[in-house]
């Protein structure tokens, strides 16, 4: 009996120690499981997120003076403050010249465009073709053609409309945009891609960057060039100011387009001037062509444009050839290019004046130079930001080269571009320094850039961004923040854990109760 009595306190104490710890753990697991189940359910019920179904697509044809490029853009069907979050998914360069070159045979331009559109069809789900809008924007080449021959320009646009009316896509418009619109859309593209309008938070929410500063845009095409930036608030230049609203915010942008100051048209004006002032009409020296380079150009090529028709000679014959010979003289080239800019007309006080008597607010902030500006800088092995002195030294070296050396200096050699890079470089120098008034101190604020990520810096993306305001959002549906299958899985797991914990606690209680009864019986038997 003594042995039984001495063993009882040890057994009861040990059981209490052993049972207390698992009971506490089980109760904690039970409470946590209940909390998690309730939290997930409440979030699922009360924190619903409104989304639209899938993606939307848009197609923009950038019909420039020298080429046409087809861009495919996509964006979520839901929109941020009425403007789609657009990204470029495909790009196709249409073979051949710009659409303005087809004035005499507009039906011929359909085939190369169709080749690109066949590729586009593969990039967009077929069931979305009929709801995918197509826009064609024509720039300075068509603007010049319309001034020369409005009937021919309308015929070109009509053939484009006829072609797209037979396609599966939702064709909206083929139009000639103004120079100001082209400049503004380029500005929108540059700032959109650089994140100056929107940025995504850690919670994947799009917001406007705090104290966001916009970037100026410098665009160089074949027939025109554009400058666009947000000036100081007190700047007065109403004729060149445009207002645009994006993502719920308004911007006041100075934008100016200079027709006939695109790279191709400006070079034609130089060549026409050289031919006009040359003593030897059989072979005209061109200081901007590389040494030992020779080519023959028709009078139509030189004088057929509206930009050069005032220089047309009395003996004008469209098919007659004029021979040009490169002398590779940097100093003379710079002098000749300088004469293309009429700075004498700028005598307005209080405002900077680029050239031709046109007022311009003072430059402000950083700028991105794209399109022809980028390709010329890249030919000089310069990209991004760099000092003006570096640009000038590379330009002088390049312009002194023999034609046979250029294939070894250029990243990609094509005759029509290689022969003109010296001219383009000098042209950029005078346009930026003599025209826009960039100085050695402000030049490094210019970034020569082709694209951001996988998206080209071109006016077409800004065009698409603006047009998304006119595209009706799709019908909305409610999507829960947690995927339904994931929610069901979480609910099952934590409910099961809660039930197991509850069963375990009940089991411990029953065992404890039984143990007390057994101990009581042992005590009764021991006292008898």
Instruction: For residues 115 and 87, state if they share a domain.
Output: yes
Question: Cα 482 vs. chain centroid, distance in angstroms?
Answer: 32
Q: Which of 80, 182, 265, 267 is catalytic?
A: 182
Look at residue 370 and tell me whether its pLDDT is greater than 50. yes
**pLDDT at residue 487, rounded to an integer:** 55
Instruction: For residues 101 and 234, state if they share a domain.
Output: yes
Instruction: For residues 297 and 370, state if they share a domain.
Output: yes
- Tell me the C-alpha to C-alpha distance, in Å, between residue 470 and each of 7, 51, 79, 244, 466: 88, 19, 12, 14, 8
**Two structure tokens written together for 104:** 């005499």
**pLDDT at residue 51, rounded to an integer:** 39
pLDDT band at 13 (very low <50, low <70, confident <90, very high): very low
Look at residue 350 and tell me whether its pLDDT is greater than 60. no
Instruction: For residues 485 and 459, state if they share a domain.
Output: no
**pLDDT at residue 479, rounded to an integer:** 38
Question: Cα 63 vs. chain centroid, distance in angstroms?
Answer: 17
Mean pLDDT taken over the chain: 84
For residue 430, the domain's CATH number is: 3.30.420.150
**pLDDT at residue 245, rounded to an integer:** 82
Instruction: For residues 94 and 161, state if they share a domain.
Output: yes
In this predicted model, what pLDDT tens digit does every residue of 120-144 receive, in sequence order?
Answer: 999 999 999 999 999 999 999 999 9
Number of domains in the chain: 3
Query: Cα separation of 183 and 374, whole Å?
Result: 16
**Residue 506 near residue 28 (C-beta atoms within 8 A):** no
Look at residue 150 and tell me whether its pLDDT is greater than 50. yes
Instruction: For residues 392 and 425, state if they share a domain.
Output: yes
Q: Is 78 considered catalytic here?
A: no
More confident residue, 19 or 108: 108
What would the DSSP string read from start to end of 103-144?
A: SS-GGGGHHHHHHHHHHHHHHS-GGGGGG-EEEEEE-HHHHH
- Enumerate residues 6+ apart whose C-beta is below 8 A from 78: 50, 51, 52, 473, 476
**Two structure tokens written together for 31:** 């409470």
More confident residue, 363 or 76: 363
**pLDDT at residue 237, rounded to an integer:** 66
**Two structure tokens written together for 62:** 């950038």
**pLDDT at residue 175, rounded to an integer:** 96
Query: Cα separation of 362 and 130, whole Å?
Result: 47
For 438-463, the three-class secondary structure string (H helix, E strand, C coil) is CCCCCHHHEEECCEECCEECCHHHHH
What would the DSSP string read from start to end of 400-426?
A: T-BGGGHHHH-SS--HHHHTTHHHHHH
Look at residue 344 and tell me whether its pLDDT is greater than 80. no
- Domain of residue 33: give its range: 2-48+481-527
Instruction: For residues 89 and 238, state if they share a domain.
Output: yes
Instruction: For residues 351 and 417, state if they share a domain.
Output: yes
Instruction: For residues 315 and 391, state if they share a domain.
Output: yes
Query: Cα separation of 354 and 346, whole Å?
Result: 7
**Two structure tokens written together for 254:** 């100075």
**pLDDT at residue 92, rounded to an integer:** 97
**pLDDT at residue 468, rounded to an integer:** 75
More confident residue, 15 or 401: 401
Classify residue 102 by its DSSP letter.
Answer: G
In this predicted model, what pLDDT tens digit does every residue of 69-79 receive, in sequence order?
Answer: 999 999 887 76
State phi, psi for 123 to the nearest 5 degrees. -90, -15
**pLDDT at residue 278, rounded to an integer:** 87
- Of 175-179, 305-309, 351-355, 435-439, the one with minimum mean pLDDT is 351-355
Classify residue 435 by its DSSP letter.
Answer: I
**pLDDT at residue 202, rounded to an integer:** 61
Global pTM? 0.78
**pLDDT at residue 18, rounded to an integer:** 44
Question: Cα 38 vs. chain centroid, distance in angstroms?
Answer: 44
Name the most confidently modeled range: 25-29, 81-85, 93-97, 207-211: 93-97
**pLDDT at residue 518, rounded to an integer:** 66
Instruction: For residues 435 and 313, state if they share a domain.
Output: yes
Q: Which residues pair with 133 in a beta bridge?
A: 170
pLDDT band at 33 (very low <50, low <70, confident <90, very high): low
Question: Cα 433 vs. chain centroid, distance in angstroms?
Answer: 27
**pLDDT at residue 238, rounded to an integer:** 65
**pLDDT at residue 77, rounded to an integer:** 78
Look at residue 422 and tell me whether its pLDDT is greater than 60. yes
More confident residue, 23 or 141: 141
Query: Cα separation of 440 and 448, whole Å?
Result: 16
**pLDDT-above-90 percentage for the chain:** 60
Instruction: For residues 304 and 271, state if they share a domain.
Output: yes
Look at residue 83 and tell me whether its pLDDT is greater than 50. yes
In this predicted model, what pLDDT tens digit does every residue of 174-206 receive, in sequence order?
Answer: 999 999 999 999 999 999 999 898 776 666 566
- Tell me the C-alpha to C-alpha distance, in Å, between residue 283 and each of 274, 278, 286, 290, 336: 11, 8, 10, 15, 18
In this predicted model, what pLDDT tens digit does every residue of 225-256 receive, in sequence order?
Answer: 999 999 988 777 667 899 888 877 889 999 99
Average pLDDT over residues 393-402: 97
Question: What does DSSP say about strands 477-479 and 49-51: parallel, antiparallel, or unpaired?
Answer: antiparallel
Q: Specify the DSSP element, H or E, that contains 317.
A: none
Instruction: For residues 28 and 164, state if they share a domain.
Output: no
- Of 8-12, 267-271, 462-466, the one with minimum mean pLDDT is 8-12
**pLDDT at residue 470, rounded to an integer:** 58
Q: Where are the alpha helices (DSSP H) in 339-381?
A: 372-379
For residue 136, the domain's CATH number is: 3.30.420.40
- Tell me the C-alpha to C-alpha distance, in Å, between residue 418 and each of 43, 209, 219, 399: 63, 41, 20, 11
In this predicted model, what pLDDT tens digit does every residue of 290-313 receive, in sequence order?
Answer: 999 999 999 999 999 999 999 999
Instruction: Give me the sign of the Cα torsion angle 423, 371, 430, 400.
Output: negative
Average pLDDT over residues 506-525: 66
What would the DSSP string read from start to end of 457-485?
A: -SHHHHHHHHHGGGSPPPPPEEE-SS-HH
**pLDDT-above-70 percentage for the chain:** 75
User: What are the percentages of helix, strand and coil residues in the chain, rounded to 5?
Assistant: 50, 20, 30
């Amino acid at each position: 009996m003594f042995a039984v009595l001495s063993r009882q306190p040890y057994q009861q104490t040990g059981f209490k120690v052993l049972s207390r710890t698992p009971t506490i753990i089980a109760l904690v697991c039970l409470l946590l499981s209940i909390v998690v189940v309730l939290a997930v359910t409440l979030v699922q019920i009360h924190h619903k997120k409104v989304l639209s179904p899938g993606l939307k697509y848009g197609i923009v044809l950038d019909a420039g003076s020298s080429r046409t490029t087809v861009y495919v853009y996509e964006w979520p069907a839901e929109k941020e403050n009425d403007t789609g979050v657009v990204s470029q998914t495909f790009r196709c360069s249409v073979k051949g010249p710009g659409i303005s070159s087809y004035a005499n045979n507009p039906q011929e331009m359909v085939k190369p465009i169709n080749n690109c559109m066949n590729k586009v069809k593969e990039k967009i789900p077929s069931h979305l073709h009929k709801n995918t809008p197509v826009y064609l924007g024509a720039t300075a080449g068509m603007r010049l053609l319309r001034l020369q021959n409005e009937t021919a320009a309308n015929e070109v646009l009509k053939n484009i409309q006829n072609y797209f009316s037979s396609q599966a896509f939702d064709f909206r418009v083929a139009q000639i945009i103004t120079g100001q619109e082209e400049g503004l859309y380029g500005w929108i593209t540059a700032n959109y891609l650089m994140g100056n309008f929107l940025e995504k938070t850690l919670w994947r929410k799009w917001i406007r960057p705090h104290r966001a500063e916009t970037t100026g845009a410098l665009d160089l095409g074949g027939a025109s060039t554009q400058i666009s930036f947000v000036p100081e608030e007190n700047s007065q230049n109403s004729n060149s100011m445009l207002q645009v609203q994006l993502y719920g915010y308004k911007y006041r942008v100075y934008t100016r387009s200079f027709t006939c100051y695109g790279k191709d048209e400006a070079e034609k004006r130089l060549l026409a001037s050289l031919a006009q002032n040359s003593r030897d009409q059989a072979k005209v020296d061109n200081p901007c062509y590389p040494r030992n380079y020779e080519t023959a150009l028709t009078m139509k090529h030189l004088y057929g444009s509206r930009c050069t028709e005032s220089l047309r000679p009395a003996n004008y014959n469209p098919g007659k050839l004029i021979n040009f010979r490169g002398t590779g003289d940097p100093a003379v080239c710079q002098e000749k290019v300088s004469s293309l800019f009429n700075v004498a007309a700028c005598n307005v006080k209080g405002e900077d004046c680029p050239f031709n008597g046109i007022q311009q607010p003072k430059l402000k902030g950083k700028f991105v130079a794209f399109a022809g500006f980028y390709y010329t800088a890249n030919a000089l092995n310069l990209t991004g930001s760099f000092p003006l002195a570096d640009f000038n030294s590379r330009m002088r070296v390049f312009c002194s080269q023999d034609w046979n050396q250029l294939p070894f200096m250029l990243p990609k050699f094509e005759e029509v571009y290689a022969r003109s890079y010296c001219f383009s470089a000098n042209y950029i120098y005078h346009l930026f320094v003599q025209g826009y008034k960039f100085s050695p101190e402000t030049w490094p604020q210019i970034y020569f850039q082709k694209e951001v990520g996988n998206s080209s810096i071109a006016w077409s993306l800004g065009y698409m961004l603006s047009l998304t305001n006119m595209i009706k959002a799709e019908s909305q549906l409610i999507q829960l923040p947690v995927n339904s299958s994931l929610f069901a899985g979480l609910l099952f797991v934590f409910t099961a854990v809660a039930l197991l914990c509850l069963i375990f606690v009940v089991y411990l209680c029953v065992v404890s109760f039984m143990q007390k009864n057994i101990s009581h019986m042992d005590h009764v038997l021991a006292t008898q």
